[in-house]
A and B are shown apart, each in its own frame.
Chain A
Amino acid sequence: MLLLTVVSLASCEKEDAIPYEPYEGTEIPTNPTDLSIYNIQQEYQSKIIYRYDRRYITADAFAAPPDYDKVLPYIENVIRKLFIAPYDRQKNDFMREHMPIEMIMFGTSMNYVEGDERNFSASGVAYGLSRIIITGVNNYDLNNASWLRGQYATLHHEFSHVLDKIYGRPIGFDEVSKGKYAGGTAYNSFTQAEARSRGFWRNYGMTNESEDFATWVDGLVTTPKDEVMTIISANELLRQKYQLVYNFYLQKGIDIHELQEYLQTILDNL
């Protein structure tokens, strides 16, 4: 028995130790654009991608890459000042916890192929809770208030899709205009007045419940509170949705009216 044990042990071939290879972290970029992206990634766990990759666009759409020279100012003045700061100044670490994992930049809008049923241009796209497509970067112009407002409206719109995916829309939101949605691109046949009468901020919200929620958000971040109060006083459907969206953000530490005021202040002083 002893002999057997000895033989048995002797027959076990000793494996070589796995060699230790120290981890090499990502090298800190030296050029300002990539350094800025690196800093945001470190701080918010979000990666900004500006290098053109066809895979980020659906097969029936096309878009141009962003001009390299406009990437850094866009990050510094639009993403930081108009997208991150409005939330984080109200609630510490909000963007660290909610910022999409990837933000893909394109120079133009996302143009869908003509003849396609979806024949239109998109100013932004959100994919689940992980990715936002930013478009129109090549039109970067700090003196163009209209463009800036459009950019931050889109960013906050798409970001609301992210929050929608994380938390779900407020309970009861989908019920308010139930049966009044247009579906697909049919929303185009409704006027603003008709959309409002059905409880939508604008007719694009009639596409589906998700866009309904997101259009309310972009409406609230671009409209002063007193104007919002006037708009929602038109009918009970608008009032209900406003309250649900407002409370949704407030429960997360964000007063969306304060956010709008801040954005307007930044816009006025850029």
Chain B
Amino acid sequence: MRRMNLYFPVLVALLALLTGCNKETTLLPPREISEEVQVIADRYNEILTSTDKWVLAYKPENYEDSVYIQLQFAEEGKVDVLSGYRDFHTLQSATVYTFEGKYIPIITFADNTVFGTLADLYNGSAKFKINYIEEGEYFEFVRSDGYDDDAFRLIKMNASYEEKLTNQIDAILAQIAYEEEQARLSAEVRQKVKDFVEIESDFYFYNLTVDDFSAAINSFDTTARTISLTYKETSTSAPTDVTVGYTLTAEGIVLNPAIAYGAVSIDVIALGDLQYEDPDSPTAATSIEIVSAGNAGAGVMGYAHTAPYPYTRATDRSQTLADYFVNEYPSSVESRRFGSKATVYMEDFRGYIRSLPNFNPSGRHVYIIYAPNYTSSLRNLFWVGSSRRVDSDAAYGSMGFNLRVNIQGLGGNRMDMNEIIQQTNSTSTYGPVPDISERTQEYLDQITPAAGVTLVPYNMANEGSSGYRLRLVSTVDSRVWVEFSWSSSTYYNMVFN
């Protein structure tokens, strides 16, 4: 008794805990079958099992075609099912079927059969009122819930229905093969996109350029699945910024919405092979081939040496930055910064200048370039100089080298600034000036090659400042660029884009 007293509260608590864990479930009465219906069902079972194969052409309400379903009934409520519906197109052995009903026999197939799936997805049924038509030796199936009174015939399998079922199964197998191929291609596309976004290059431009379309790629966001581009419909159009979503399919990158204007429509971008265009790193990809981009032709996507479109003046789209620089620029500019590869060339050239006799290696203006001045006699002048002579006497002196350079536009916002005409007007307050034209020509071949440079506006807002500078970017190797600052705000506030 005492022992009971000790354990009883614990037992009660345990029982309460267990009871509390019971999940509440809704219990419906068991399925019923009356004696009369059972008799009919037994007879139906005899008929069903005495025939090798039956076939039912069943069309659920929301399915567009009839599904051919082969049924092989066996003893003990088991039926083998083969259908022309995907995922049930191979033989499903020994599924369960039962009979129910108080007045009319109802045959019920298991939920895990094609009937259950068609019921769930296409408003079909897995339960049918079944009636044997003696004269025709077939059964009539009508869904049991009264939703409609459409009757479907379960007949003995024959060659015609066997062929229909086989055709459906063949179509499913073909579809599966197609989808597997599509999946393989999709995986290939995914891999190509992955390879593309992993490309690292110090080429100046990042473009998507095909025959009839060219854009700067601002971002390719694989998380948000968006591509942000800036393009011009024509060379004299204002730039258009666009951000479109994309999905990856077997066909390629599917844009949503498509980029479309005029006759151009780019809905799908089909990718080809990676491109390797950097001679300094021949195994590193720089871009990827575009096999097709909608109706805009083929091309490449990735890093490039040339701009996607000409930069033109916002207030006059017919005027490129190169046009302005060559023809109208009314004042001087100074070189400020050099691109990665241009720096190498510049340092080499500077070393040469510094090695000249009587030249002060600490001079401030060692490699200043005064580019063309439209109005003055200094037009087309390339100037290298030092503000101080080498000795340290108090008198101010300098040594400068003026070289006339032939500057001309090449069209499409490109410019030729390569050919030295002559070294002239060199100045020095300290001794004779050596002829540096040959070495300077070598230098210009490197930084402003004869093939031309692209003139690119550089927005100082990128560095928290205001206004624009311009860059001369080699069309041969865009890593070679020289940045100039305009001489006054009148010019550096002008917008070219």
Q: Would you call A92 and B26 a contact (CB within 8 A)?
A: no
Could you say which of B29, B32, B104, B146 contacts A84, with CB atoms under 8 Å apart? B146
Of A43, A80, A90, A97, the contact of B28 (CB 8 Å cutoff): A90
Contacting residues, chain B, for A44 (C-beta < 8 A): 146
Shortest CB-to-CB span from B444 to chain A, Å, is 74
Task: Say yes or no for B149: interface residue by CB 8 A criterion.
Answer: yes
Determine if A96 is an interface residue (Cβ-Cβ < 8 Å): yes
One of B28, B145, B146, B148 near A253 (C-beta < 8 A): B28
Interface 0/1 of B52-81, CB less than 8 Å to A: 000000000010000000000000000000
Tell me which of A39, A76, A84, A255 contacts B145 (CB under 8 A). Answer: A84
Closest Cβ of chain B: how far from A215's Cβ, in Å?
24
Number of A-B contacts (CB under 8 A): 53
- Interface residue from A43, A84, A92, A251 paired with B31 (Cβ < 8 Å): A92
Q: B148 to A76, Cβ gap below 8 A?
A: yes
- Chain B contact residue count (CB 8 A cutoff): 20
Minimum CB–CB distance from B362 to chain A (whole Å) comes to 82
Residue of B nearest to A44 (CB): B146
For window 123-169 of B, CB contacts with A under 8 Å fall at 123, 127, 144-149
B102 interface residue per 8 A CB criterion: yes
Structural contact, A255 and B26, CB atoms closer than 8 A: yes
Residue A166 CB within 8 A of the other chain = no
In the complex, the chain A residue whose C-beta lies closest to that of B102 is A93
Closest B residue, CB atoms, query A84: B146
Indicate if the CB atoms of A85 and B28 lie closer than 8 Å.
no
Asked if B297 is an interface residue, CB under 8 A from chain A, the answer is: no
* Residue-wise interface mask of B (20-41) relative to A, using a CB-CB cutoff of 8 A (1 in contact, 0 not): 0000001011011000000000
A228 an interface residue at 8 Å Cβ cutoff?
no
Contacts A93-B102, A269-B123; A255 near B146 (Cβ below 8 A): no
In the assembled complex, which residues on chain A have CB atoms less than 8 Å from the CB atom of B148?
76, 80-81
Contact B62 A269 (CB under 8 A): yes
> Given A96-B103, A269-B123 in contact, is the A89-B147 Cβ separation under 8 Å?
yes
Distance A92 CA – B31 CA, assembled complex (angstroms): 8
Residue tally, chain A, CB below 8 Å to B = 23
For chain A residues 46-98, which have a beta carbon within 8 Å of chain B? Answer: 76, 80-81, 84-85, 88-93, 95-97
A36 at the interface (CB under 8 A from B): yes
1/0 per position for A131-161, CB-CB distance to B under 8 A?
A: 0000000000000000000000000000000
Kindly list chain A residues whose C-beta atoms are within 8 Å of the C-beta of B101. 92-93
Verify B149–A36 contact, CB threshold 8 A.
Answer: yes
Q: A36-B149, A93-B102 are in contact. Are A88 and B144 (CB under 8 A)?
A: yes
Indicate if A193 sits at the interface (CB-CB under 8 A): no
Given A90-B28, A92-B32, A85:B147 Cβ within 8 A: yes
**Interface 1/0 per residue, A243-268 and B, CB below 8 Å:** 00000001101010000000000000
Tell me whether chain B's interface is mostly helix, strand or loop, or mixed.
loop
Report the minimum CB–CB distance from A168 to chain B (whole Å). 19
User: With A and B bound together, what is the CA distance between A55 and B444 in angstroms?
Assistant: 109
> Residues of B contacting A43 with CB < 8 Å?
146, 149
Hey, which chain A residues are within 8 Å of B62, CB to CB? 269
| Chain B residue with Cβ nearest A39 | B149
Tell whether, in the assembled complex, residue A93 and residue B145 are in contact, meaning their CB atoms are under 8 Å apart: no
Interface membership of B321, Cβ < 8 A: no
Set of chain B residues within 8 Å of A90, measured between Cβ atoms? 28
Measured CB to CB, the closest approach of chain A to B98, in angstroms, equals: 11
Contact B146 A80 (CB under 8 A): yes
Q: Which of B26, B127, B147 contacts A81 (CB 8 A)?
A: B147
Complex: how many Å from CA A43 to CA B148? 12
Contact of B26 with A88 in the complex, beta carbons under 8 Å: no
- Within the assembled complex, what's the spacing in Å between the Cα atoms of A93 and B106? 10
> With A and B bound together, what is the CA distance between A85 and B145 in angstroms?
5
Give Cα A76 to B146, complex, Å: 10
Residue of chain B at shortest CB distance from A257: B26
Q: Closest approach, in angstroms, between the C-beta of A210 and any C-beta of chain B? A: 26
Give chain B nearest CB distance to A15 CB in angstroms: 39
Given contacts A92-B101, A93-B101, contact A253 B147 (CB under 8 A): no
Does A250 contact B28, Cβ atoms closer than 8 Å? yes
Smallest CB separation, A44 vs chain B (Å): 7
Closest 5 A/B residue pairs (Cβ): A89-B145, A84-B146, A85-B147, A88-B145, A85-B145
Q: A44-B146, A253-B29, A255-B26 are in contact. List 19 more A-B contacts (CB 8 A).
A: A76-B148, A84-B147, A85-B146, A88-B144, A88-B145, A89-B127, A89-B144, A89-B147, A90-B28, A91-B29, A92-B31, A92-B101, A92-B127, A92-B144, A93-B101, A95-B146, A253-B28, A255-B28, A269-B62
Residues of A with Cβ closer than 8 Å to B? 36, 39, 43-44, 76, 80-81, 84-85, 88-93, 95-97, 250-251, 253, 255, 269
Query: What are 25 A-B pairs at a CB distance below 8 A?
Result: A36-B149, A43-B149, A80-B146, A80-B147, A80-B148, A80-B149, A84-B145, A84-B147, A85-B145, A88-B145, A88-B146, A89-B127, A89-B144, A89-B145, A90-B28, A92-B102, A92-B144, A93-B101, A93-B102, A93-B103, A96-B103, A250-B28, A251-B29, A253-B29, A269-B123
